[in-house]
């Protein structure tokens, strides 16, 4: 059964989900490497959690306007606005207070998640049970993936990968030595925004598949695993993308073969297995840079 | 008189709510090597960062080859303190040196054979050719200092602003770096280096800027680098002056 799923011979829908999850993993692994190199592995997590109040807010707004609250593009616009506000809050907290970046990230993450949960509770209390499906954004659900969803994920992943490759020089330059980069005229604020937008794009298209809570694993774990075995930034991003893609492929196939298995949980466990394997390969030197 | 490589006029910079640099006026001619000395907290690094526009100045003007820093940016190479970056970052020595090309290439420009030549030459001048492909995390402190200087060289600048280029390097590396810097000076570049080892100043530098938030002395080492000036530079505690009341403080000594 698992073999059939892995070789894409378990029917149209399972194939669609497997390819969609794999392409998502590819893009997430590559972009995640950029964030890990920048030393901001938690920022994607904050962005993902900040989409929740945005999604729920959009749902409530659409309901109030009498429109269909399950209009996916509009919900995702709401999620994007939520993430953008979260990022703005993060920047303001870092720039205007003495909070360190990781503290500010944790604050934004938890407040956004709490706010999102409150709004989701409000939605669940709405009459008519129209909230059905919204909880899918929390933990993800691949089962309902449509051809259109897979195409959107595929298209977005291609654009993200292309943009990342194009912007790789300034992004790595800034990640390694932001001060010297600025001295050479590189506008770090703008390039940080570019990186955040790429991450946000992956988060938004991946939200329904991987969910807001665990998508960070797809963004960060492959990058960390790749970092342990590769000593060049470009090679690390490439390997990270491959690991992410493989994890997406395997996770979706496993849950197609055994429908009781939650896709995203399997993806995350597969990513962790890759990390553990990388650590084993590196042996006792696992926690220092490869040379 | 020719245009100086760097001219700073009445520059004041606040850092973390304190006056880090106060009313600094100094010129740095082309074809010269200047040491910037002073106690910890005297504003040496802040002065360099303010020249580059990395920290905002409260007052004052900076001219680089008679232009604003943004106009002249490609002609200025900056070497931060080595501790400012993560040396576990996954790049090779040659990768870091090639980063100096950004001033020329910008975000999307294509590397040409000429650019690769510049990287190879910068590596060769700093004695790193054999280490070019090695990850920077596997380099010694002295080799890392060479990598940073090689990155500045690859930029092909006319003004070099170096923040403690010799910190924690062995004597042999220091000598190698000094040889490169003197060659740059002889080619007409201006070198400005924050420096800690006072005893080495006369041996390496012809000019000195003695800083303790304000300029204590500025000029040829032979003329201004006197025991009396050194005492004045280092005797006064530099920091702890709130920016708001800085104007009311008396001059050091």
* Interchain pair A186, B105: CB under 8 A: no
Chain A hits for B81, CB-CB cut-off 8 Å, are none
CA-to-CA dists, residue A99 to A20, A96, A104, A162, B20, angstroms: 39, 8, 6, 35, 22
| Beta carbons within 8 Å of A86's beta carbon, 6+ residues apart | A46, A47, A49, A50, A108, A112
Q: How many CA atoms lie within 13 A of A97 on its CB side?
A: 14
| Stronger pLDDT, B68 or A134, i.e. the higher one | B68
Whether A13 and A235 have beta carbons less than 8 Å apart is answered as: no
User: In this predicted structure, what is the pLDDT of residue B244?
Assistant: 41
User: In this predicted structure, what is the pLDDT of residue A128?
Assistant: 66
Whether A222 and A22 have beta carbons less than 8 Å apart is answered as: no
User: In this predicted structure, what is the pLDDT of residue A145?
Assistant: 72
Please determine, for residue A261, whether its predicted confidence score (pLDDT) is greater than 70. yes
Average pLDDT over residues A95-106: 90
Q: How confident is the model at residue B245 (pLDDT cuts 50, 70, 90)?
A: very low
**In the predicted model, what is the mean pLDDT of chain A?**
89
- For residue B110, what is the nearest residue in chain A, using CA coordinates? A169
Average pLDDT over residues A201-227: 91
- For residue B16, what is the nearest residue in chain A, using CA coordinates? A98
Mutate to test the interface with A, among B69, B90, B99, B154 (most CBs of A within 10 A): B90
Residues A220-244 as b/e (b if ≥16 CB within 10 A, e otherwise) read bbbbbbbbbbbbbbeebbbbbbbbb
Q: How confident is the model at residue A61 (pLDDT cuts 50, 70, 90)?
A: very high
* Interchain pair A169, B105: CB under 8 A: yes
Kindly state whether B107 is in contact with chain A, defined as any CB-CB distance less than 8 angstroms. Answer: yes
* Interchain pair B105, A288: CB under 8 A: no
Average pLDDT over residues B174-180: 94
Edge-to-edge strands, sheet with B6-15:
B18-28, B6-15, B59-64
- Please name the member of B54, B90, B161 whose beta carbon is closest to the beta carbon of A236: B90
- For residue B94, what is the nearest residue in chain A, using CA coordinates? A232
- For residue A174, what is the nearest residue in chain B, using CA coordinates? B99
Residue pLDDT, tens place only, A152-195: 889 999 999 999 999 999 999 999 999 999 999 999 999 999 99
H/E stretch holding B34:
strand B33-37
Residue pLDDT, tens place only, B92-148: 999 999 999 999 899 999 999 999 999 999 999 999 999 999 999 999 999 999 999
**CA A250, CA B10: separation in Å to the nearest integer?**
64
Residue pLDDT, tens place only, B29-39: 999 999 999 99
Please determine, for residue A132, whether its predicted confidence score (pLDDT) is greater than 70. no
* Interchain pair B92, A291: CB under 8 A: no
* Residue % of chain B over a pLDDT of 90: 82
| Nearest by Cα to B207 from B47, B33, B44, B7 | B33
Chain A hits for B49, CB-CB cut-off 8 Å, are 179
Q: How confident is the model at residue A70 (pLDDT cuts 50, 70, 90)?
A: confident
Dihedral class, residue A75 (left if φ above 0, else alpha if ψ from -120 to 50, else beta): alpha
Shortest CA gap A19–chain B (Å): 31
Q: Are strands B6-15 and B159-163 parallel, antiparallel or unpaired?
A: unpaired
ipTM rounded to 2 decimals = 0.88
User: In this predicted structure, what is the pLDDT of residue A207?
Assistant: 87
Average pLDDT over residues A10-29: 89
Please determine, for residue A196, whether its predicted confidence score (pLDDT) is greater than 60. yes
* Interchain pair A227, B103: CB under 8 A: no
Q: How confident is the model at residue B18 (pLDDT cuts 50, 70, 90)?
A: confident
Average pLDDT over residues A35-40: 94
* Residue % of chain A over a pLDDT of 70: 94
By the 10 Å C-beta count (0-12 exposed, 13-18 middle, 19+ buried), B148 is classed as: buried
* Interchain pair B99, A183: CB under 8 A: no
* Interchain pair B85, A289: CB under 8 A: no
Among the ranges given (A146-155, B45-54, B111-120, B191-200), the one the predictor scored with the smallest mean pLDDT: A146-155
| Nearest by Cα to A141 from A285, A262, A18 | A262
- Please name the member of A166, A288, A289 whose beta carbon is closest to the beta carbon of B108: A166
**CA A49, CA A140: separation in Å to the nearest integer?**
13
Q: Are strands B159-163 and B207-212 parallel, antiparallel or unpaired?
A: unpaired
List, in sequence order, every residue forming a beta bridge with B143; answer none if it has no partner.
none
* Interchain pair B107, A170: CB under 8 A: yes
Q: How confident is the model at residue A125 (pLDDT cuts 50, 70, 90)?
A: confident
CA-to-CA dists, residue B64 to A93, B52, B100, B211, B218, angstroms: 35, 10, 19, 20, 18
Q: How confident is the model at residue B242 (pLDDT cuts 50, 70, 90)?
A: very low
Chain A hits for B137, CB-CB cut-off 8 Å, are 231, 288-289, 291
Q: How confident is the model at residue B243 (pLDDT cuts 50, 70, 90)?
A: very low
Mutate to test the interface with B, among A97, A183, A228, A238 (most CBs of B within 10 A): A183
User: In this predicted structure, what is the pLDDT of residue B1?
Assistant: 58
Please determine, for residue B215, whether its predicted confidence score (pLDDT) is greater than 70. yes
User: In this predicted structure, what is the pLDDT of residue B241?
Assistant: 45
Please determine, for residue B246, whether its predicted confidence score (pLDDT) is greater than 90. no
Please determine, for residue B253, whether its predicted confidence score (pLDDT) is greater than 50. no
Please determine, for residue A209, whether its predicted confidence score (pLDDT) is greater than 90. no
Please determine, for residue B251, whether its predicted confidence score (pLDDT) is greater than 60. no
| Nearest by Cα to A186 from B111, B100, B192, B6 | B100
Mutate to test the interface with B, among A162, A180, A223, A238 (most CBs of B within 10 A): A180
Average pLDDT over residues A132-147: 75
Average pLDDT over residues A39-63: 92
Residue pLDDT, tens place only, B52-104: 999 999 999 999 999 999 999 999 999 999 999 999 999 999 999 999 999 98
| Beta carbons within 8 Å of A23's beta carbon, 6+ residues apart | A150, A153, A154, A157, A245, A248
Q: How confident is the model at residue B250 (pLDDT cuts 50, 70, 90)?
A: very low
* Interchain pair A230, B90: CB under 8 A: yes
């Amino acid at each position: 059964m698992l073999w059939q799923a892995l070789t894409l011979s378990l029917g149209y829908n399972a194939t669609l989900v497997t390819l969609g999850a794999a392409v998502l993993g590819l893009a997430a692994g590559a972009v995640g490497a950029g964030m890990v190199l920048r030393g901001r592995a938690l920022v994607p997590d904050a962005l993902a959690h900040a989409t929740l109040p945005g999604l729920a807010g959009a749902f409530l707004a659409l309901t109030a306007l009498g429109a269909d609250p399950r209009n996916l593009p509009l919900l995702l616009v709401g999620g994007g606005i939520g993430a953008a506000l979260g990022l703005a809050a993060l920047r303001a907290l870092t720039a205007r207070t003495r909070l360190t970046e990781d503290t500010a990230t944790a604050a934004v993450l938890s407040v956004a998640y709490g706010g999102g949960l409150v709004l989701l509770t409000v939605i669940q209390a709405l009459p008519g049970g129209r909230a059905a499906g919204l909880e899918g954004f929390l933990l993800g659900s691949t089962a309902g993936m449509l051809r259109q969803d897979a195409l959107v994920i595929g298209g977005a992943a291609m654009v993200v990968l292309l943009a990342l490759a194009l912007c790789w020089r300034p992004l790595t330059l800034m990640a390694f030595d932001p001060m010297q980069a600025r001295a050479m005229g590189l506008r770090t604020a703008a390039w940080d925004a570019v990186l955040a937008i790429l991450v946000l794009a992956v988060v938004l298209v991946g939200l329904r598949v991987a969910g807001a809570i665990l998508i960070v694993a797809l963004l960060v774990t492959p990058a960390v695993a790749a970092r342990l075995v590769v000593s060049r930034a470009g090679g690390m991003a490439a390997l990270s993308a491959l690991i992410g893609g493989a994890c997406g492929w395997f996770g979706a196939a496993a849950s197609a073969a055994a429908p009781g298995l939650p896709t995203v949980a399997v993806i995350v466990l597969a990513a962790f297995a890759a990390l553990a394997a990388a650590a084993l390969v590196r042996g006792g030197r696992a926690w220092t840079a490869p040379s | 008189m020719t245009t100086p490589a760097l001219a700073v006029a009445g520059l004041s910079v606040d850092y973390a709510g304190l006056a880090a640099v106060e009313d600094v006026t100094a010129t740095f001619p082309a074809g010269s090597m200047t040491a910037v000395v002073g106690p910890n907290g005297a504003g040496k690094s802040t002065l360099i960062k303010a020249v580059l526009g990395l920290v905002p100045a409260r007052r004052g003007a900076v001219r680089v080859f008679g232009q604003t820093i943004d106009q002249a940016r490609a002609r200025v190479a900056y070497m931060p303190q080595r501790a400012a970056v993560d040396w576990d970052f996954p790049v090779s020595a040659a990768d870091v040196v090639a980063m100096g090309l950004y001033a020329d290439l910008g975000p999307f420009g294509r590397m040409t054979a000429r650019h690769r030549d510049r990287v190879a030459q910068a590596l060769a001048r700093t004695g790193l050719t054999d280490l070019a492909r090695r990850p920077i995390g596997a380099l010694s402190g002295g080799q890392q200092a060479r990598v940073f200087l090689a990155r500045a060289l690859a930029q092909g600048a006319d003004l070099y602003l170096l923040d403690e280029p010799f910190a924690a390097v062995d004597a042999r590396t220091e000598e190698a770096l000094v040889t490169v810097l003197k060659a740059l000076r002889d080619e007409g570049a201006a070198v400005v280096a924050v420096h800690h080892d006072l005893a080495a100043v006369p041996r390496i530098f012809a000019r000195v800027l003695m800083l303790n938030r304000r300029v204590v002395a500025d000029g040829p080492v032979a003329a201004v680098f006197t025991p009396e000036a050194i005492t004045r530079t280092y005797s006064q505690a530099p920091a702890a002056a709130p920016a708001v009341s800085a104007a009311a403080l008396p001059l050091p000594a």
